[in-house]
Structure 1
Amino acid sequence: MMIHVRRAELSDAAQIQRVYASTGAYSGTLQLPHPSVEMWQERLRNFDPDSTMLVAVYDGVIVANAGLHLEKKQRRSHVASMGLGVADAFTGRGVATALLTELLNLSDNWLHILRVELTVFCDNAPAIHLYKKFGFEIEGTHRAHAMRNGRFTDSYSMARLHPHQPLIPLRET
């Protein structure tokens, strides 16, 4: 399967909406069921120019998207958060790996980001496995983090530090 990853464009709104119309995509993220094309058009139109939204395309169809969002606070300018959603029919087929590879390439080699953060539902074993494969570590648990399917669901806070940028230890005074 050949996946092409590129930056999202305004004209992609309808296809991104279809990704998040699939149960697994909205259940595994903080998206709500029944997204509208207009909502995605608005998000794409007003997307922060300092952040990045990518799409994964298979056979001319968008099957997933991912975003890398840079922190605005000066003291956290070394941090980005990320999110990712894959259409149900394309989970387990390398699509998330392709998107995550490109997001981390941007983060590590182009954006001067030291730390990438994310949250993932505790019961999303495939996503947790993927993130760990890319060096993310669980840093904590958010209890009752979000409502999903009528129940409050816990999530993990995960983060990854740039693998080739050692931290400078604090000096004791």
Structure 2
Amino acid sequence: MTIKPFDFKLKDGRTATILSPREEDINGVIEYLKISAGETEFILRYPEECDKYTYEAEKALFERKNASEDEAMLICIVDGKVAGNCGIQFSSQLKLRHRAGVAIALCKEYWNLGIGTRMFEEMEKLALNKPYVQILELDFVEGNTRARALYEKMGFKITGRRPSAICLKDGTLLDEYMMQKKLVRN
């Protein structure tokens, strides 16, 4: 599914654009994936695992997501660079379609500028356009207090924990927390 691109002002006065990914964004998205993977232990990939993100693979992913009725990927562009992305996935299974999964990541240089909040607002708007969706869900890794604060600000609550779900290169085991937000329709 695609959205109409829109601009908004960042906290520092710059303009950002949120849009569905296009072919001309592929190289920027690949670069963003590599950078973001190296900036924190809370992203579920290491930079060396980003080699699978080829131009062809990303082009196919963008085409699939943009053509889908059950998922969307959005990217945020600031000063010509990909600052981050987010995604939402809806289920077509009758017993699960009341739930939608969301995910988000930003490069560190774009933290605290309002991008995460704006991306969540857009994902919630997409969910509200599906009358059967009642709940948004996401996961976060133990210790990611910044993400947790954003999620709680956006109305998510912890609903469970997966002990030792993440294993870092040094053998450190981290828990993963599940969160949900119940959607409110007017």
TM class, shorter-length = 0.7 to 0.9
Counterpart of 1:75 in 2: which secondary structure?
coil
Partner amino acid for 1:3?
Answer: A
In the alignment, is the contact (CA less than 8 A) between 1:20 and 1:31 conserved in 2? no
Q: Does 1:111 align with 2:127?
A: no
Question: Root-mean-square deviation (CA), in Å?
Answer: 1.9
Alpha-carbon separation, structure 1, partners of 2:100 and 2:61:
18
In structure 2, stretches of 5+ residues that fail to align are 1-13
Give the counterpart of 1:142 among 134, 138, 162.
162
1:168 corresponds to: none
Q: Does 1:58 align with 2:78?
A: yes
The alignment-based identity, stated in percent, is 18
Alpha-carbon separation, structure 2, partners of 1:16 and 1:147:
26
Shift of 1:79: 1.1
List structure 1 runs of 4+ shifted beyond 6 angstroms: none
CA offset digits 1:21-76 (Å, max 9, x no partner): 12236x32223323134143343244371200000111222110000011232211
CA offset digits 1:91-138 (Å, max 9, x no partner): 222221121111112112x12221110000121111101111111000
Change (3 A) 1:153 1:106: same
Alpha-carbon separation, structure 1, partners of 2:15 and 2:42:
24
Alpha-carbon separation, structure 1, partners of 2:59 and 2:46:
16
Normalised by the length of structure 1, the TM-score is 0.84
In the alignment, is the contact (CA less than 8 A) between 1:70 and 1:80 conserved in 2? yes
In the alignment, is the contact (CA less than 8 A) between 1:28 and 1:85 conserved in 2? no
Normalised by the length of structure 2, the TM-score is 0.79
Q: How many residues align?
A: 163
